Amino acid sequence: MRISEAARRLGTTARALRYRESLGLLPPGADAPGMHRQYGPSDLAAAAWAAAVESRHQVSPAALAFALRAHTEPAVAADVTELGRLTGRLSPPTRALDFDQLKAQRLLADYRRPTSPGSRSQRRPGPVGGA
């Protein structure tokens, strides 16, 4: 279908559809150069989903397009991750050895935890059969 019909079905304008297409929020058109683009079901689904995500998260089409780039382009993803780390919105990645050390410390703290409110730290009995 032509862009005017697609826009009418989606409750938007042809200009808005062209804008979303220019941002990469629609599947690339397979039409020959100089021909009018035909919009199919996958185009309508992508445009409707983009509009729903923009509305749900209160972001502009440009912000959504950038989020998509950050998700699909490793260099952009690395830069955004570094910004998140620098601003404190992302924790530094946990290394496997750090994870194991933290787990061991939690287990040790559980092992030494008092068994009643007034008692001193006591060792819990170990596994039956010894190890």
Q: Tokens at residue 10, please? A: 């989606």
Q: How far is CA 57 from the centre of its chain?
A: 12
Q: Is 51 helix (H, G, I), strand (E, B) or coil?
A: helix
Crossing angle of helices 61-72 and 74-87, rounded to 10°: 100
Structural domains in the chain, CATH included, are: 3-72 (1.10.1660.10)
Per the confidence metrics, is the pTM higher than 0.75? no
Average pLDDT in the chain = 83
* CB atoms closer than 10 angstroms to residue 15: 10
Q: Tokens at residue 84, please? A: 């998140």
The residue-averaged pLDDT of 37-63 equals 93
Degrees to nearest 5, angle at CA 73 with 69 and 75: 115
Q: Is 80 helix (H, G, I), strand (E, B) or coil?
A: helix
Taking only the tens place, the pLDDT of each residue in 58-108 is 999 999 999 999 999 999 999 998 999 899 888 776 666 777 788 888 888
CA gap 86, 26 in Å, rounded: 33
